[in-house]
Amino acid sequence: MNKKPSFLESAACHVVLVIAVAFALYPVLWVVALAFSGTQTPSPRVIPVPEAPTLAHLSAVVGATRKVDGAEVWLFGRQLANSLVVSLSTALVGVLIAIPTAYALARFRFAGKESGMRALLATQMFPAVASAIPLYMILNSLGLLNSRTGLVVCYASTSVPFSIFQLRAAFEAIPIDLEEAAMVDGATRFSAFVRVVLPAARPAIAVTALFAFMGAYNEFILAATLLDKEEMFTLPVMLQRFIGEYDAQWEKFAAGALVVSLPVMALFYVAQRHLVAGLTAGGVKG
Amino acid sequence: MASVTVTALKKKFGQTEVLKGVDVRVPEGHFAVLVGPSGCGKSTLLRLLAGLEEADTGKIELGDRDVTRLEPRDRNIAMVFQSYALYPHLTVRENLAFGLKLRKTDPAEIEKQVKRASDMLGLGALLDRLPKQLSGGQRQRVAMGRAIVRKADLYLYDEPLSNLDAALRAQVRVDIRKLHDELGATSVYVTHDQVEAMTLADVIFVLNKGQVEQSGAPLEIFDRPATKFVAAFLGSPAMNFIDGALERAGSAWVFRANQLVVPVDEATFAGGLEPGRKVTLGIRPHEVALTEGGGETTKLGVTVVEALGPETYAHGEIAGAPFIARVEARRSIKKGDTLPLVFRSIHLFDAATGKSLRAR
């Protein structure tokens, strides 16, 4: 079974892999080519390389400034900060709410547990767009339009139900013996939760937080509805403004898209260690 | 260390009464084994001792402390779980030290105790590994180590050998007994394996349907089972049972089932002997002997022969009931033979209640 593949088998395998990678990367390469092309409308080519390479689009997007209340602000920096603060806060708030809720749903029996779960599920049936107008009115009356807080509240409330479902399954998969062993060893229920359950659930918590982050980072419709000041925009809203009614600045859009992808790529790179599942493997039984 | 006294302990799960008033007393330093079939309540009793379940009524005392309503952490007990329940994110060393750290033990003392426990169990080379890097037997030893690293009043074992293969199980069984002899700690051990019960225990509690059916030293219970249930549960192969009735034969008493007539010693069963009383005769496979003919014998028509090496079991039927007899190993017996047997020792149980007729 563990026979080493022959040269032909190995070569065939690599050819297939190269084709698959090229297929997946081709559109991305097109975006890269577009972002660094100096010509107004680059002509379509089979091999996507920039025409008259330039960094002008990139610096136009990244270096954009604007006068706000008389002072010159670095627009892109503001928007990047908006996106990161809103997304990280959404992930943090969502996970902090979802962890105790999911644990209670996984471990305790209480009145209303089943109907509560069904209600959570029901919230997932409505698309976010359906609540855009009511959310606008609520945030307006709270004075939270055009604010990061308002956006975090909206995003966290939509991400929490899914986070709860995901974490509940993770907590259920952790053997209750582990907590009981900790309690016999001298832990309170709470310290058993903190010292044993949370570390064992770390991969699931990391994945849940990452999903919440991505959801918030990529969200457009609510952000476009609730924000109308340019310096409060998140990155997806900023990107969309390059595609106007009368002219589309595709090269700036492409440059912006590349820059917007970087934080997510960095995040995945850092988080991958925590995303390795199966941390509990081997703790229980032979 | 402390003695354990359980008084009239009851526990219900919903409508199911799992423990129906259990009394258990384990003297200080003794190794007690709770044994019984699945669903007899032995694991529930252990969890009540640990404080992982709450008793409905009754009392649990460790020494002179009433711990019935105390949280697990306030009872000063240690427990080895069936699943081992090792903390997956901690190394062996951290697993061993976990309980001591929670109790704010001095780091030098933790180091010393971890070393002592790991030396006793041969875990020295494994201290920096994670549980997932250990074999089943090694995990089991870490689970044991986590218990003995603390000076607990009571050590609880919940079927700790059930996930090991047969050879390892026999080895660890001996190790557990050795460890107990070294530590002298009061222990309560749950198993459904009667061999473990017989070999490990100072005192056995046989549980059935939420009650203690019989308790005592292993051999005492084996030799003088109080009920048919206990007689059937302990011993392998199990005791043979034949239904019949008591009769007078002149001045003596006999047990009769169809053509089978077995003399009954009046002194042994005094008080239980009534003519016509429906009883079950019990004979352990090793309580028979082959005779060379002559005198009163019972015939066993052999249908199956199991030669195990040190001993051979002949299967057949006596008075319509299946019967197993142990015979010397090298005796050549084959299917179709008829063996003349005498019963060296018999047990009698009331057919209705299952209680032994033996005078206590």
pLDDT tens-place string over residues B275-289 = 999 999 999 999 998
Answer whether residue B122 is part of any domain.
Answer: yes
- Does one domain contain both B257 and B325? yes
pLDDT value of position B360: 66
- Does one domain contain both B189 and B265? no
* Best residue in B47, B62, B80, B89 for a mutation probing chain A (most A CBs within 10 Å): B89
- Rounded CA separation B227/A177 (Å): 35
pLDDT value of position B90: 94
- Does one domain contain both B249 and B188? no
Last residue of a domain, one of B224, B255, B276: B224
- Does one domain contain both B202 and B308? no
Answer whether residue B19 is part of any domain.
Answer: yes
A40 has pLDDT over 70: no
- Yes or no, beta carbons of A286 and B135 under 8 Å apart: yes
- Does one domain contain both B143 and B259? no
- Does one domain contain both B172 and B126? yes
A41 has pLDDT over 70: no
- Does one domain contain both A43 and A142? no
- Yes or no, beta carbons of A286 and B164 under 8 Å apart: yes
- Does one domain contain both A43 and A144? no
pLDDT value of position B77: 95
Residues B121-162 have pLDDT tens digits of 899 999 999 999 999 999 999 999 999 999 899 999 999 998
- Does one domain contain both B200 and B271? no
B184 has pLDDT over 80: yes
Beta strands in B194-233 (DSSP E): 203-208, 211-216
- Yes or no, beta carbons of B72 and A175 under 8 Å apart: no
CATH number of residue B264's parent domain: 2.40.50.140
Output DSSP code: residue B239: P
Instruction: Please check whether residue B127 is in contact with residue B142, taking contact to mean a CB–CB distance below 8 angstroms.
Output: no
pLDDT value of position A277: 54
CATH number of residue A112's parent domain: 1.10.3720.10
- Does one domain contain both A38 and A84? no
- Does one domain contain both A84 and A166? yes
Confidence of residue B295 (pLDDT cuts 50, 70, 90): low
- Does one domain contain both A151 and A28? no
Answer whether residue A221 is part of any domain.
Answer: yes
CB proximity A194 to B under 8 Å: no
- Yes or no, beta carbons of B79 and A177 under 8 Å apart: no
Confidence of residue B303 (pLDDT cuts 50, 70, 90): very high
Contacts 24+ apart (CB under 8 A), A3-12: none
- Rounded CA separation B246/B281 (Å): 10
- Does one domain contain both B320 and B206? no
Answer whether residue A285 is part of any domain.
Answer: no
Contacts of A178 in chain B (CB under 8 A): 85, 87-88
Answer whether residue B63 is part of any domain.
Answer: yes
- Rounded CA separation B278/B272 (Å): 11
Answer whether residue B231 is part of any domain.
Answer: no
- Yes or no, beta carbons of A184 and B50 under 8 Å apart: yes
Which of A 169-188 lie inside 8 A of B, CB atoms? 175, 177-178, 180-188
- Does one domain contain both B289 and B149? no
B105 has pLDDT over 80: yes
Nearest CA in chain A to B133: A282
- The interface predicted TM-score of the complex, written ipTM, equals 0.86
Domain count, chain B: 2
Residues B33-91 have pLDDT tens digits of 999 999 999 999 999 999 999 999 999 999 999 999 999 999 999 999 999 999 999 99
pLDDT value of position A30: 87
Which among A177, A270, A107, A188 is positioned nearest to B88, based on CA atoms?
A177
Nearest CA in chain A to B74: A186
Scanning the structure block, which residue is given the tokens 């399954």? A169
Domain count, chain A: 2
Query: What's the whole-number mean pLDDT along residues B90-102?
Result: 95
- Does one domain contain both B219 and B246? no
Nearest CA in chain A to B50: A184
Contacts of B160 in chain A (CB under 8 A): none
Output DSSP code: residue B13: E
Nearest C-alpha of chain A: how many angstroms from B295?
Answer: 56
Contacts of A282 in chain B (CB under 8 A): 86, 88, 130-134, 139
pTM: 0.84
Contacts of B78 in chain A (CB under 8 A): 184-185
B5 has pLDDT over 70: yes
Question: Torsion angle of alpha carbons B339, B342, B345, B351, nearest 10°?
Answer: 70
A69 has pLDDT over 90: no
Helix B136-148 vs helix B166-183: crossing angle, to nearest 10? 20
Q: Quick one: what percent of chain B has pLDDT higher than 70?
A: 99
- Does one domain contain both A139 and A169? yes
Give chain A's mean pLDDT: 88
Q: Quick one: what percent of chain B has pLDDT higher than 90?
A: 78
A47 has pLDDT over 80: no
Residues A149-179 have pLDDT tens digits of 999 999 998 899 999 999 999 999 999 999 9
- Yes or no, beta carbons of B98 and A182 under 8 Å apart: yes
Answer whether residue B132 is part of any domain.
Answer: yes
Enumerate residues 6+ apart whose C-beta is below 8 A from A164.
Answer: A98, A101, A102, A105, A120
Who among A195, A279, A285 is closest to B83 (CB)?
Answer: A285
Which of A 53-112 lie inside 8 A of B, CB atoms? none
Answer whether residue B131 is part of any domain.
Answer: yes
Query: What's the whole-number mean pLDDT along residues A185-189?
Result: 94
- Does one domain contain both B47 and B159? yes
Query: What's the whole-number mean pLDDT along residues B171-193?
Result: 91
Who among A178, A279, A286 is closest to B85 (CB)?
Answer: A178
Who among A178, A191, A285 is closest to B87 (CB)?
Answer: A178
Answer whether residue A116 is part of any domain.
Answer: yes
β-pairing verdict for B31-35 and B57-62: unpaired
Question: Taking the mean position of all CA atoms in its chain, how far away is CA A108?
Answer: 30
Backbone angles phi, psi at B63, to 5 degrees: 60, -125
Within 10 A of B162 (CB to CB), how many other CB atoms are there? 16
- Does one domain contain both A94 and A233? yes
Residues A91-128 have pLDDT tens digits of 999 999 999 999 999 999 999 999 999 998 888 888 87
A285 has pLDDT over 60: no
CB proximity A276 to B under 8 Å: no
- Does one domain contain both B309 and B220? no
- Does one domain contain both A22 and A77? no
Please give the residue range of the domain that contains residue B324: 240-350
Nearest CA in chain A to B72: A184
- Rounded CA separation B25/B12 (Å): 22
Nearest C-alpha of chain A: how many angstroms from B75?
Answer: 8
Query: What's the whole-number mean pLDDT along residues A185-203?
Result: 93
A284 has pLDDT over 50: no
Query: What's the whole-number mean pLDDT along residues B195-209?
Result: 94
- Does one domain contain both A182 and A80? yes
pLDDT value of position A282: 41
CB proximity A190 to B under 8 Å: no
Answer whether residue B232 is part of any domain.
Answer: no
- Yes or no, beta carbons of A286 and B132 under 8 Å apart: no
- Rounded CA separation B344/B102 (Å): 58
Please give the residue range of the domain that contains residue A263: 71-275
- Does one domain contain both A146 and A270? yes
Answer whether residue B102 is part of any domain.
Answer: yes
**Tokens in use for B112?**
């010393």
